[in-house]
Amino acid sequence: ACAISPKAIVSDACASYSTLERLNRNVKPALDELTQTTDFFSHYRLNLFNKRCPFWNDENGMCGNIACAVETLDNEADIPEVWRASELGKLEGPRAKHPGKGVQKERPERPLQGKLGADVGESCVVEYDDECDDRDYCVPEDESASSKGDYVSLLRNPERFTGYAGDGAKGVWDAVYRENCFQKSSFPESAALGKITTPKGPAAMDFKAVIDAAGRQQALEEQRQHNPLTPFVAKTGLEHEDECLEKRVFYRVMSGMHASISTHLCWDFLNQTTGQWQPNVNCYIGRLHKYPERISNLYFNYALLTRAIAKLGPYLSRHDAYTFCTGDRGQDAATRAKVLAVTEKASSVPQIFDESLMFKNGEGPSLKEDFRNRFRNVSRLMDCVGCDKCRLWGKLQTAGYGTALKVLFEFDNNDEPQPPLLKRTELVALFNTYARLSSSLTAIQKFRTMVEEAEAAV
């Protein structure tokens, strides 16, 4: 009775914010341990630099590149170079190239060595390529024919303020929400959604449609606003009669992801006057506190990922499903124990999200493929993000949500999938996305206290 229905959202009667926050206090230490102390979960492989934005021309300034981010800071020239958006958005730390498939085949018995740094057991982060799976909600990161991508340290590149903003960033967010329309999309490629296996060259974009959609979205959002003084009331989300459940869920996942990114950039914000990294409460008020439905969507995502992780627990606990670190049994066992600590804690509450209500009635079943394809489109849109660090986390999180949806809607614990259902990159993305949401919940609570204290002081 207490599962969050995708309809009911986060309700006070059942899984209230405080329930989720209590759960988070229990899960977070184990999740941090997993994502911060294991090689397997602290490195992500992705094709960060070799894919072009498949939807529009990066060179037209709409999306794009560091230059468009830099423009948005009023007095960029006055800011010390190390604090400029172009510098803040750069990736740091060693990167290791993925060995090609051919090389892998030559030495199938022994994982190849990367170059990730002295303290990293490379054998734990190099994986073999799997075939793509039509149950995927994301474009698999190994899709590109030419490049196998890079391994990037997530610890060396925390998600935080980068200064990336302006038309480039807004264009991507608008296009993300535009995917929620579940009607003929403005993207020329949409006819072939799901069939695109490699990014196409730049295509013309219907900017007017995007801008109109953004305007409508804004208007909807205004309508949905609740009294900013009581931001933590139960009833939130899209309550439009004409919108089916699946569309609402799609919107909520995107908005919750956006809210989580906003939370991190406000929490780990660079004060360009003092050079200090510190929480920026005005940033929080302007982007989140005034929009309770955004916060609700973030909590909704937390519930959704908790359910996916809990559902995956029995599968991951089977010893033959994942080895985690071929060739190093000790590390393998330690990583598995840390994974299971997270899945057990995520399972410590009654089923928290009821996915069985989706894709059931009316047009539901036929929407599933559309839903999946639109989600894939959003994952492709991440190649249009013009800031390396933002692109890294945007790609990881869309892959994480894609994996969660795959687990929720394509996975039955009674199945015996062969080969394993999830690739390494999907597992890493899933647990790190959960960790992002977990730290967002913590930050939101601290921000909330700061606002209350500030209000009390007036």
Q: Closer CB to ligand FAD, residue 169 or residue 205?
A: 169
> Is 390 annotated in the active site?
yes
d(CA 12, CA 27): 21
d(CA 284, CA 290): 9
Q: Which residues contact 347 (CB under 8 A, 6 or more apart)?
A: 310, 313
Q: Closer CB to ligand FAD, residue 114 or residue 168?
A: 168
Query: Which residue in 53, 124, 283, 390 is the catalytic one?
Result: 390
Task: Kindly indicate which of the ranges 108-116, 156-164, 308-316, 400-408 contains the residues binding ligand FAD, using the contact rule CB under 6 A.
Answer: 156-164
The reply, when asked if residue 160 is annotated as ligand binding, is yes
Q: Check: CB of residue 7 under 8 Å from CB of residue 245.
A: yes
Two structure tokens written together for 110? 């022994």
d(CA 222, CA 357): 28
Judged by CB under 6 A, the residue of 259, 342, 421, 429 near ligand FAD is 259
Q: Write the single-letter amino acid at 85.
A: A
The number of residues that bind ligand FAD (CB under 6 A) is 25
Q: Does 53 bind ligand FAD (CB under 6 A)?
A: no
DSSP H helices, 153-291, are 166-178, 207-224, 245-267, 281-284
Q: How many CB atoms lie within 10 A of CB 101?
A: 12
Q: Check: CB of residue 10 under 8 Å from CB of residue 234.
A: yes
Q: Closer CB to ligand FAD, residue 149 or residue 171?
A: 171
Binding mask 263-282 for ligand FAD (x = CB under 6 A): --x-----------------
In the complex, least distance from residue 443 CB atom to ligand FAD, rounded to whole angstroms = 14
Our separate counts of H helices and E strands in the chain read: 14, 5
Distances (CA, A) of 10 to 19, 20, 92, 236, 420: 10, 9, 38, 8, 32
Binding mask 159-198 for ligand FAD (x = CB under 6 A): x-xx-xx---xx-xx-------------------------
Q: Closer CB to ligand FAD, residue 150 or residue 174?
A: 174
d(CA 362, CA 239): 18
Q: Does 55 bind ligand FAD (CB under 6 A)?
A: no
Q: Does 213 bind ligand FAD (CB under 6 A)?
A: no
Task: Kindly indicate which of the ranges 29-37, 178-186, 252-260, 360-368 contains the residues binding ligand FAD, using the contact rule CB under 6 A.
Answer: 252-260
In the complex, least distance from residue 135 CB atom to ligand FAD, rounded to whole angstroms = 24
Q: Closer CB to ligand FAD, residue 151 or residue 291?
A: 291
Name beta bridge partners: 150: 46, 97
Two structure tokens written together for 30? 């184990």
Q: Does 385 bind ligand FAD (CB under 6 A)?
A: yes
Q: Check: CB of residue 90 under 8 Å from CB of residue 388.
A: yes
Q: Closer CB to ligand FAD, residue 165 or residue 305?
A: 165
Q: Closer CB to ligand FAD, residue 372 or residue 391?
A: 391
Q: How many CB atoms lie within 10 A of CB 201?
A: 8
Judged by CB under 6 A, the residue of 54, 111, 199, 394 near ligand FAD is 394
The reply, when asked if residue 173 is annotated as ligand binding, is yes
> Exposure of 111 by Cβ count < 10 A (0-12 exposed, 13-18 middle, 19+ buried)?
buried
> Is 2 annotated in the active site?
no
Two structure tokens written together for 361? 């009635």
The reply, when asked if residue 95 is annotated as ligand binding, is no
Task: Kindly indicate which of the ranges 36-44, 260-268, 306-314, 427-435 contains the residues binding ligand FAD, using the contact rule CB under 6 A.
Answer: 260-268
**Within 94-133, which residues bind ligand FAD (CB under 6 A)?**
none
d(CA 381, CA 345): 33
CA dihedral sign, ordered 233, 458, 160, 394: positive
CA 429, 435, 439, 444: dihedral to nearest 10 degrees?
70
**Within 215-234, which residues bind ligand FAD (CB under 6 A)?**
218, 221
d(CA 369, CA 151): 31
Task: Kindly indicate which of the ranges 99-107, 147-155, 237-245, 390-398 contains the residues binding ligand FAD, using the contact rule CB under 6 A.
Answer: 390-398
Q: Does 261 bind ligand FAD (CB under 6 A)?
A: yes
Query: Which residue in 63, 68, 325, 387 is the catalytic one?
Result: 387
In the complex, least distance from residue 299 CB atom to ligand FAD, rounded to whole angstroms = 12
Query: What percentage of the chain's residues is helix, strand, coil (to nearest 5)?
Result: 55, 5, 40
Q: Closer CB to ligand FAD, residue 55 or residue 393?
A: 393
In the complex, least distance from residue 220 CB atom to ligand FAD, rounded to whole angstroms = 9
The reply, when asked if residue 178 is annotated as ligand binding, is no
Where does residue 412 fall: left (phi above 0), alpha (psi -120 to 50 degrees), or beta otherwise? Answer: beta
Task: Kindly indicate which of the ranges 158-166, 228-236, 237-245, 366-374 contains the residues binding ligand FAD, using the contact rule CB under 6 A.
Answer: 158-166
Binding stretches for ligand FAD (CB under 6 A): 159, 161-162, 164-165, 169-170, 172-173, 218, 221, 255, 258-259, 261-262, 265, 287, 294, 382, 385, 389-390, 393-394
Active site residues: 387, 390
Residues marked as binding for FAD?
A: 160, 162, 173, 255, 258, 287
